[in-house]
Amino acid sequence: MSTPAAIDWLNLGFKYMQTNAYVRANFTNGKWSGVEVCTDPMFNIHIAAACLHYGQACFEGLKAFRRKDGSVAIFRPEENAARIIDTANRVLMEPPPVELFIEAVKKTAALNFDWIPPYGTGASFYIRPLLIGTSAQIGLGPSRDYILIVMGMPVGPYYKDGFFPVRACVQEAYDRAAPKGVGNVKVAGNYAASMLGDKESKDRGYSISLYLDSAQRKFIDEFGTSNFFGITYDKRFVTPDSDSILPSITNKSIQTIAADMGLKVERRPVSFDELTQFKEVGACGTAAIITPVYSIIRGDKEFTFGKENEVGETLRHLFNEIQGIQYGEIKDRYGWMLAVE
Ligand code: PLP
Ligand code: COI
């Protein structure tokens, strides 16, 4: 295990790193235990555990930020609590109570306070709650027992160049979600479903894949790691409404900011043909923050937005606002930040 003193905060990337401790709570005999502090990242699990065979596994992702005065705050954890409850209910897992989830998330940040990147580095502390069904069973059915684990580690940008335009490609060969499937919740299997497509896109030189609606291939769904949004020439913020995309907390937040900036916010089905109307396109999510998208390729057609290697003014404004609130540089006017200590 490395120590915080040895970390190059400016060149972190998005990688697992072992920190001081993580926390865990167990659901057994119909009730949740309290939050337990653990340090050994290895633990025993039954070979017939439901999460291993039948995919009863889901997770969340949220971030804690160091502010100028050295204090730390977490971005909208109650939204992640609500989403893990929705996810758990969809796949018949035991949802953790909101209070337990928030306590576990806060404790993970507090236990690793020295691992939370210094203010001014642009890095943050990524918190990863994980829920798994652990009962030994071979017949198909929901687990009786569950473990909630919350770990965390310092991270830099998800895409290596940070706040810099990327090129995306439409994923034609595989779908990640189906109508009325599980694309709108954060089950682990969704990410396995997108790995092959993402790898093929990367091999072709595109850092990010765009998924279309799997029924008709007519509407934009989302990127493999983040939601899609576009800014039109007449200053509308347009983002897809679809049953098979993850309701992104970052997207919801930048919609609020965009409306405050005077943009008209439209959340509705977005046809692929509308791409030509966008002056700027972005991918948004906890890990991706706001990643500007310079181009989207589909077959032999490339759609471009703004200037290559240049971030558009609306995306820059949205990025500065959300990060300003997260790092405590701008007043938390919506009450989004939960102080850790
Ligand atoms: N869409 C997908 C598929 C994701 O994995 C994520 C990341 O969590 C998002 C969107 C963005 O959601 P959020 O902003 O809540 O992190
Ligand atoms: C997140 O942004 O928190 C996610 O879970 C996306 C993941 C692919 C890193």
Q: Map out the domains of the chain with their CATH numbers.
A: 4-155 (3.30.470.10), 166-325 (3.20.10.10)
User: How many C-beta atoms lie closer than 10 Å to residue 204's C-beta?
Assistant: 10
* Residue 53 CB-half CA count within 13 A: 16
Q: Measured in angstroms, how far is the CA atom of residue 214 from the centroid of ligand 1?
A: 19
The pLDDT of residue 194 is above 90: yes
User: In this predicted structure, what is the pLDDT of residue 159?
Assistant: 83
Whole-angstrom distance, CA of residue 141 vs CA of residue 52: 13
Q: What is the three-class DSSP state of 280? A: strand
The pLDDT of residue 14 is above 70: yes
The answer to whether 310 and 280 have CB atoms below 8 angstroms apart is: no
User: How many C-beta atoms lie closer than 10 Å to residue 41's C-beta?
Assistant: 13
- Confirm or reject: Cβ of 129 under 6 Å from ligand 2: no
Q: Measured in angstroms, how far is the CA atom of residue 287 from the centroid of ligand 2?
A: 5
pLDDT tens, residue by residue, 232-243: 999 999 999 999
- Confirm or reject: Cβ of 52 under 6 Å from ligand 2: no
Pocket test for ligand 1, best of 105, 158, 248 (most atoms within 8 A of CB): 248
- Confirm or reject: Cβ of 227 under 6 Å from ligand 2: no
Whole-angstrom distance, CA of residue 337 vs CA of residue 32: 27
Q: Measured in angstroms, how far is the CA atom of residue 337 from the centroid of ligand 2?
A: 19
Lowest-confidence segment of 51-60, 153-162, 255-264 by average pLDDT: 153-162
The answer to whether 184 and 155 have CB atoms below 8 angstroms apart is: no
Q: Measured in angstroms, how far is the CA atom of residue 227 from the centroid of ligand 1?
A: 6
User: In this predicted structure, what is the pLDDT of residue 160?
Assistant: 82
User: In this predicted structure, what is the pLDDT of residue 162?
Assistant: 84
The answer to whether 197 and 173 have CB atoms below 8 angstroms apart is: yes
User: Burial of 85 by CB count in 10 Å (0-12 exposed, 13-18 middle, 19+ buried)?
Assistant: middle
Pocket test for ligand 1, best of 252, 286, 336 (most atoms within 8 A of CB): 286
Atom of ligand 2 nearest to the CA of 224: 8
User: In this predicted structure, what is the pLDDT of residue 1?
Assistant: 66
For residue 161, name the pLDDT band (cuts at 50, 70, 90): confident
Whole-angstrom distance, CA of residue 306 vs CA of residue 298: 18
pLDDT tens, residue by residue, 80-137: 999 999 999 999 999 999 999 999 999 999 999 999 999 999 999 999 999 999 999 9
The pLDDT of residue 193 is above 80: yes
User: In this predicted structure, what is the pLDDT of residue 107?
Assistant: 98
Percent of the chain with pLDDT over 90: 96
Q: What is the pTM of this model?
A: 0.97
- The residues that bridge with 64 in the sheet, in sequence order, are 74, 125
Task: List pocket residues of ligand 1, CB cut-off 6 Å.
Answer: 61, 222, 225-227, 246, 248-251, 285-286
User: Burial of 80 by CB count in 10 Å (0-12 exposed, 13-18 middle, 19+ buried)?
Assistant: buried
| Enclosing H/E stretch for 36 | strand 36-38
The pLDDT of residue 296 is above 90: yes
| Enclosing H/E stretch for 128 | strand 124-133
For residue 5, name the pLDDT band (cuts at 50, 70, 90): confident
- Confirm or reject: Cβ of 77 under 6 Å from ligand 2: no
Lowest-confidence segment of 141-155, 159-173, 284-298 by average pLDDT: 159-173
User: In this predicted structure, what is the pLDDT of residue 157?
Assistant: 85
Whose atoms come closest to the Cα of 244: which ligand? 1
- Protein residue with least CA distance to atom 7, ligand 2: 225
The pLDDT of residue 341 is above 80: no
Nearest to 293 by CA among 223, 238, 199, 235: 223
Pocket test for ligand 2, best of 286, 322, 326 (most atoms within 8 A of CB): 286
- Confirm or reject: Cβ of 286 under 6 Å from ligand 2: yes
The answer to whether 148 and 98 have CB atoms below 8 angstroms apart is: no
Backbone torsions φ then ψ of 192, nearest 5 degrees: -65, -40
Q: What angle do CA 253, 259, 260 make, to 5 degrees?
A: 90
